[in-house]
């Protein structure tokens, strides 16, 4: 593996850790703020502030509407998916616990990633589903079952 690939693996693992922390924090916010919508609003405002701050620090402009290139509408699904991830995990985590919620999300990510690769969705190169890749998904599913077995039913 090249140094760049090693760095990418480390960053991806760190992002996965952040996703786990985010889900737990969102569930806690939902409880402390008295509802799902206030928690999501707080997260959205914080996200906007962080994006704006990063744009200022890096001296990269936010969207310039006069020069905004056309974007194919299916790519806007990212915003919808972000909403679903935040809302569902904040709701589900108190009922299933952190471990079950997170491994179920990872299992869904694995399945979606295999399908995106297989069909070459969103402009990604097409990579066929192979028996080895399916075995990886099966391992994720087995992991879900093992973690569910030891947690709340």
Residue 137's pLDDT band (cuts 50, 70, 90): very high
The domain spans of the chain are: 3-37+72-149
Q: Which of 106, 113, 93 is nearest to 142 (CA)?
A: 106
| Predicted confidence (pLDDT) per residue in 42-68, tens digit | 988 998 899 889 888 988 877 775 566
Q: Return the SS3 of 150.
A: coil
**Residue range 91-117, pLDDT digits in tens:** 898 988 888 888 999 999 999 999 999
């Amino acid at each position: 593996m090249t140094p760049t690939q090693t760095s990418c693996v480390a960053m991806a693992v760190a992002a996965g850790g952040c996703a786990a922390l985010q889900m737990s924090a969102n569930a806690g916010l939902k409880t402390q703020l008295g509802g799902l919508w206030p928690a999501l609003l707080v997260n959205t405002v914080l996200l906007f502030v962080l994006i704006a701050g990063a744009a200022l620090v890096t001296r990269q402009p936010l969207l310039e509407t006069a020069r905004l290139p056309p974007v194919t509408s299916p790519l806007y699904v990212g915003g919808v998916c972000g909403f679903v991830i935040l809302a569902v995990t904040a709701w589900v985590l108190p009922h299933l616990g952190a471990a079950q919620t997170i491994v179920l999300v990872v299992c869904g990510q694995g399945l979606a990633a295999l399908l995106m690769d297989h069909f070459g969705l969103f402009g990604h190169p097409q990579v066929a589903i192979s028996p080895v890749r399916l075995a990886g998904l099966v391992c994720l599913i087995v992991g879900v079952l093992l973690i569910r077995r030891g947690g709340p039913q």
